[in-house]
Chains A and B, each alone.
Chain A
Amino acid sequence: MNIHIPTPLRVYSDKQDTVRVNATTVGEALDALTAKHPELKKHLYSDEGKLRSFVNVYLNDEDIRYLPEKESTKVSEKDALSIIPSIAGGS
């Protein structure tokens, strides 16, 4: 399956905007990504091993935090994961 990497993290994915991995669940896909590109890990996860609060991971158009099985959700070749840091602010 494809994992889409946002602009700021491509420096840690050999400048690739999309990384292809073999996985059967969301968790496996993320593990495969960080195994391939270990430098990504500290930018995605806190020291406690949880996804950083501002890092959103979407399976197609669904936030994985709100999927019933979360990281254990099954994936197929046709699915895509998108990593997308949040955008907010104000005066």
Chain B
Amino acid sequence: MLKLKEQTYDAIRRHGEETYPHECCGVLLGCSVDGVNAVEDAIRAGNTRTDSAHNRYHIAPQELIKIQRLGRERGLDIVGFYHSHPDHPARWSQTDFAEAHWLGCSYVITAVEKGVAQQTNSFHLSGSTEEDKALMDEPIAVEQQSDSLHHPAGMQVERCR
């Protein structure tokens, strides 16, 4: 399961609208506990695939290293990634599958139709090797703002370590 706050969920979807008709991409920082990837923050990343940004994305490794460092400083891990599919369903493609290498992480896809965010789905990269990996449908739990007020501890993640 993927858990994230409403404001993070909205920010991911808004990012896809802002970059339309190009794909957006970013990194999810949080903690992974008992099969649940609990997101504390979504960090925007640049799409280096300027040659085909309408249907491809790639995050520069240097940027990933910086985000991983940021996570370390905050006691958080990389628990997933997100990107958008402009005018295309929120389902993983063969390209998404072939390029998915972070086993145990969540891959979030938002369909953006004519500039407006539609469905957002999450897929968990299961398996223990490249040979047996699989992208599995994963439920998304969005924490509403009011939940935080009633349950201050709520789904808030502080630090993994």
Chain A positions within 8 Å of B, measured between CB atoms, are 4, 6-8, 11, 17-18, 42-43, 52, 54-56, 58, 61, 63, 82, 84-91
Contact = CB atoms under 8 A, between A and B. Distances in A.
Given A87-B25, A90-B23, A90-B49, A43 B83 contact: no
B59 interface: yes
B104 interface: yes
Given A56-B61, A58-B65, A84-B68, A90 B101 contact: no
Given A84-B64, A84-B65, A91-B23, A17 B93 contact: no
Interface stretch (B6-14, B71-79, B140-148): B71-79
Interface in B63-122: 64-65, 68, 72, 77-79, 81, 83, 85-86, 88, 92-93, 95-96, 99-105, 107
B99 A86 contact: yes
A90 B57 CA distance: 6
Interface residues of B, number: 40
B58 A87 contact: yes
Contacts of B57: 88-90
B96 to A, nearest CB: 4
A43 to B, nearest CB: 7
Nearest to A10: B77
A17 B158 CA distance: 17
A72 B106 CA distance: 36
Contact of B102 (A8, A11, A90): A8
A89 B96 contact: yes
29 contacts: A4-B68, A6-B78, A6-B102, A7-B102, A7-B105, A8-B102, A52-B130, A56-B61, A58-B61, A61-B62, A82-B68, A84-B65, A86-B101, A87-B25, A87-B27, A87-B58, A87-B59, A87-B64, A87-B81, A87-B101, A88-B57, A88-B58, A89-B57, A89-B107, A90-B57, A90-B83, A90-B85, A91-B85, A91-B96
A3 B11 CA distance: 32
A7 B68 CA distance: 9
A12 B79 CA distance: 17
Interface centre among A55, A58, A84 (most CB of B within 10 A): A84
A87 B56 contact: no
Contacts of B95: 88-91
Nearest to B88: A91
A43 B128 CA distance: 10
